[in-house]
Structure 1
Amino acid sequence: MNTKPSLWLMVVMLMFPQVVETIYSPALGSIAQSFSVSSSQAAQTLSIYFLAFAFGVVVWGILADKLGRRPTMIIGLFIYGCGALVAMQTDNFPTLMLARVLSAFGIAVGSVVTQTMLRDAFNGEELGKVFSLMGIGISISPVLGMLLGGQLTAIGGHHYVFLALFAMALALFIYNLFKLPETQKEKQPIQLVCLSLRMVKDTQILLSALLVALYNIAIFSYYQLGAFIFVDLGFGSEQFGYSGIVLGIGMLLSSYLNKALLSKKMSQRFLLWVSATLLTIGAVGVYLTLGSIWFITPMILVASSFGIAIPNVLSVALAEYKQQVGSAGALFGQMYYLMIGGGLLLAAVVQHLGIVLVVCSTVTVLATVSRK
């Protein structure tokens, strides 16, 4: 029997991929030191993660339509747990990279299948409000991840971080095994080639994917490069972890603001312009203050822009693809995760947060102008 999933479980499952990355960020310095690799190489583990995540999104989205939402989620969590276990035990950097690929592939199920289940269970305005609630959950993720990651890294380095990730994976696997319902009402024939061609030709889908990617690159470039910036400024991984509280508060407040404005029938296009403006002001501010710890202040605006933009883009992006929402969500996710992975690869090469943010804000404004 099909039932609506617990919103709290859906929040947790959508938060988990974010927690996975933010808990990992403070450990990048420890990884660079322990594996005797450069800062740039350590940072690449984050960008590689997103590229593998993009591949996982497609596989799990297709399987969600073919096998059902529940079994697909269970399989993905099991694979993620295996990747976390390997990462926890290895002392070889190439093996760590492979473990990160496996982990990313597995945990991608939390993003695409959770969104698919929400689109199964809710429609229209109700779906927009649900995604706004999800946005609040996502905004809390950096606070939890950065705080926990900073503390674990300070106590036991990256080994403790990977141990925590494995423990969380095991807990979620067991909970979903007993509590997750099936939301798919009927299986639709999968016409992936036709669907892919339709979406590639859909300008609005491409612009939506670009916007999701740009806001993610903006926030994750901080998680990717911030640990090294803090070291250059004379601070450690623990202080970097605390910075997640500041950014998380910015995301949380903007998510609540977004929810309040939506309840007052404020148009999503207006809200996207608000987020683009916040990102632009924040990007310029970071560029100008990067030589001091005060660069955190304009980063709050960048985090706030993320909290407003993401739920508004995601809630309407696939409105025309309801019949194959699992596969469409997978292809849509692959679009923006490939963009995120590519953007973070470039950010790791550039190694300058201010430049990355200014480029992201400029392209975001152009994309917002072009999008209906």
Structure 2
Amino acid sequence: MGTIRPPSLFLLAGMAALGPLALNFYVPALPAVAAQFAVTPSAAQWTLTLYFIGISFGQIIHGPLSDAIGRRPVVLGGLALYALASFACYFAATLDLLLVARFIQALGGCVGMVMSRAVLQDVFQRERFASALSTVVMVSAVAPMFAPAVGGFITEWLGWRIVFLLLGGGALVLFGACLQALPETHLNRNPLTLISLVSAYPVAMRHRGFMLNAVAAALFPATNFTIMAAGPFLVVDVLKGTPSTYGAMAMTAPLGFILGNAVARRLLLRVDHRRLMLVAAGVSLAGLSLQLALVALVPLTLVGLFLPLLVVAFGHGLGLACATGLAMAQLPDLRGTASASIGFLQMGIGALASTAGSMVVQHGAVATVLAMLAIQGFDFVLLILGRHLDHGARGEIHSKDNE
């Protein structure tokens, strides 16, 4: 492990940002897409939901495939697919064609998300992995942070199709950078057979410690997906704002996420990870409680809807790298599969949270925030269960040592 030269964390951050960028950049365009194709908001929402589904299933393929043939060829193939699908989205003449292109775009876009985690696990030990991952996540969040604002302005002034033209061009630039600067980090590979690709996942699913931490990691950002689906319609249809207004306000969550990651980087090497995750979930619950009070007790405003997300996302940034590191440490021989499983759960739960957001938004902001509170509350319960599981495992080890 020590002989492999770590790749640039900024390059890995660019890879990791590409998939979320196609979400955040595009979200402000949802009302415009619905108007373009003369469909309902829930029909346009499928361009978001199918992207979540594509990202989830794409990672299932990329993870074990990279364990078999290496990280580098999987990354390059995924980036090429993402670029081609982005240009197909630009030229889509019907909503059905856009849906197909979005799904294919997601299959390619998820490659950087799963491979950045796997590459870091290849080259860093557990303690350094969580810190390095926090750095990558923090840097990769910068582009999605500004993406809603930029996407809103582009949609308003140039049209929503230009968003996909820029995404495709960005993918080609990143492809060239990876071709030049991304080394192969996975040298001890598994045999490439259909059985080896499929059999790794039952191993992961049967590992109780891995699954508990992986689901906890997936639930941290799920509330953001709920407001991502509901937010544009609350701003445009209820508050009579514009796509650019939503884009500007949506920057609050990524900013909080970046700040949370910055604090986590300083704490991860000297604070118990499980305790830090519980604190992080508690911070997010406090932010959502404040948001619920503001939208329920006073007339709905942009400040009341979005400002508490700064606190919510701070908690997400504080706890996500901890949960991911604890999960991946459970499967040291299946790093690609472990990373893919976490990504699958994150995007799969994100798809459900996004669908919930599109369903509850018709009942108003209060119903939307209540859905977010339910998700974050469930995550908090899982973290408590994980802490009890850790204590139980330590007790068993202590008993065996005494014998």
How many Å apart are 1:192 and its aligned residue?
4.5
Match of 1:101 among 97, 100, 103: 103
CA gap 1:220/1:320 in 2 versus in 1, 3 angstroms: same
Match of 2:282 among 277, 281, 286: 277
Match of 2:314 among 290, 296, 304: 304
SS of 1:73's equivalent?
Answer: helix
Match of 1:349 in 2: 359
Distance 2:271 2:4 in 1: 33
Deviates further, 349-358 or 116-125: 349-358
Match of 1:112 in 2: 114
Match of 1:229 in 2: 234
Q: TM-score normalized by structure 1?
A: 0.94
Contact 1:23–1:145 (CA under 8 A) maintained in structure 2? yes
SS of 2:7's equivalent?
Answer: coil
Q: Deviations over 1:236-285 (max 9, x none)?
A: 1111111233223212221111112224x111112111211122122222
CA gap 1:137/1:353 in 2 versus in 1, 3 angstroms: farther
**Structure 2 unaligned blocks of 5 or more:** 362-366, 388-403
Contact 1:11–1:134 (CA under 8 A) maintained in structure 2? yes
Aligned length: 371
Match of 1:73 in 2: 75
How many Å apart are 1:320 and its aligned residue?
2.6
SS of 1:311's equivalent?
Answer: helix
Q: Percent identity of the aligned residues? A: 25
Match of 2:246 in 1: 240
Q: Does 1:327 align with 2:342?
A: no
Distance 2:223 2:209 in 1: 21
Distance 1:135 1:68 in 2: 22
How many Å apart are 1:343 and its aligned residue?
2.7
Contact 2:277–2:383 (CA under 8 A) maintained in structure 1? yes
Distance 1:317 1:90 in 2: 39
How many Å apart are 1:197 and its aligned residue?
2.4
Q: Which has the larger radius of gyration?
A: 2
How many Å apart are 1:194 and its aligned residue?
4.5
Match of 1:358 in 2: 373
Contact 1:217–1:340 (CA under 8 A) maintained in structure 2? yes
SS of 1:142's equivalent?
Answer: helix
SS of 2:21's equivalent?
Answer: helix
How many Å apart are 1:206 and its aligned residue?
2.1
Cα root mean square deviation, aligned: 1.8
How many Å apart are 1:53 and its aligned residue?
0.8
Match of 1:16 in 2: 18
CA gap 1:193/1:238 in 2 versus in 1, 3 angstroms: closer
One-letter amino acid of the counterpart of residue 338, structure 1 = G
One-letter amino acid of the counterpart of residue 199, structure 1 = A
SS of 1:371's equivalent?
Answer: helix
One-letter amino acid of the counterpart of residue 45, structure 2 = A
Contact 2:223–2:353 (CA under 8 A) maintained in structure 1? no
